[in-house]
Chains A and B, each alone.
Chain A
Amino acid sequence: MYRTITSEETEELFNLCEKYGAFFYDVQIELVDHLASLIEEQWEKDPEISFQQGLKNAVSFFGKSNFTKVTREKEKEVNRKYNLLLWKYFIEFYKWPKLLITIVFTLGLLLFFEFFNQTKTIMLIYWGLVMVGFAFYLIRIFPKYKIKGKSGELFLLAARQSQVMYISIILLQVPLITNNVFKLNEIDSINNVFILAAISFFIVFFSILLYANTFFLSKKIKEHFEEQFPEFAK
């Protein structure tokens, strides 16, 4: 029976991965196992080889540049996967039967704009409510979905989940842009029904995107994390 890697040596391999730029635990586990297997392969042939010598040979065989290469590629794939998931969910709102909800909201908003004839005020109140809702989400709801490693490990899935929050913050710039557009044109209201319909369409569009980003995607990432790393899920 040949020697296998000990827990302390495994820890050293994790530190090595971090040193070579593979910071995420979900990427490190694969690299650590690969390096450990390469070292154990050497022990099968020559049990006298020291761990350090075996590690040196394994890193040289694996290639130092591959640590960052594998991490970068994994980041790209994770982003692609969740962008696609977000897009699929979002597009459902423009297909039957969810399309009905989108139409009702868009038409409702258009009628509201026409009835009150205060486009800027309505838009600012709307975005103000969205901001209050988003603040509530950040304080009360997001902490329930947020991925937390038990012993401080950095997870790629957690990084992707935080990215979701950045997108949402960018989306919340919309009220400022709205205000500036009205200010620049020195108007408070719009009467053209086509422009109002376009505004209603975009407001509903952004609202769905914001909802999909905050509620749907964060929850999905958390679910996938719990499936893959049940021992880390709190």
Chain B
Amino acid sequence: MYGYQITREVEKITTGELVITEGALYPTLHKLEAKGLLSVEIKTVNNRPRKYYFLTENGKKETSNLLIEMKAFIQNMDVLLNPKTA
């Protein structure tokens, strides 16, 4: 995926609930690239170069770990906010 596509896909999937600003998106992508979680490839599309981002093997592992962490966090928050009465 490329930068612009990411912003539009996020908007589409979340039906506009989540909007990623360009000022936040690119620094985050560059950070992940520097950490080796994303790899890049440049292709020419419509008379201009386009930079595509791909998850590396480390990136895939990190995504999976973060999802597990996030699910656990949401579960814990749910328990804290809605304690079941005995």
Residue ranges of A at the interface with B (Cβ–Cβ < 8 Å): 4-7, 9-10, 13, 29-30, 32-34, 36-38, 40, 62-63, 65-66, 69-70, 73-74, 77-78, 80-81, 228-229
Contact = CB atoms under 8 A, between A and B. Distances in A.
A69 B23 CA distance: 7
Interface string B1-21: 011110000000000000001
Contacts of B2: 33
B50 interface: yes
Given A70-B23, A78-B34, A229 B42 contact: yes
Given A66-B22, A70-B22, A5 B27 contact: no
Interface of B: 2-5, 21-23, 26-27, 30-31, 33-35, 40, 42, 45-51
A10 B50 CA distance: 12
A62 B26 CA distance: 12
Contacts of B51: 29-30, 33
Given A10-B48, A33-B4, A77 B42 contact: no
B47 A5 contact: yes
Contacts of A36: 46, 48
A20 B33 CA distance: 24
Contact of B22 (A29, A34, A80): A34
Contacts of B40: 228
Nearest to B39: A227
B34 A81 contact: yes
B23 A40 contact: no
Contact of B46 (A30, A40, A80, A228): A40
A80 B34 contact: yes
Nearest to A75: B30
B31 A77 contact: yes
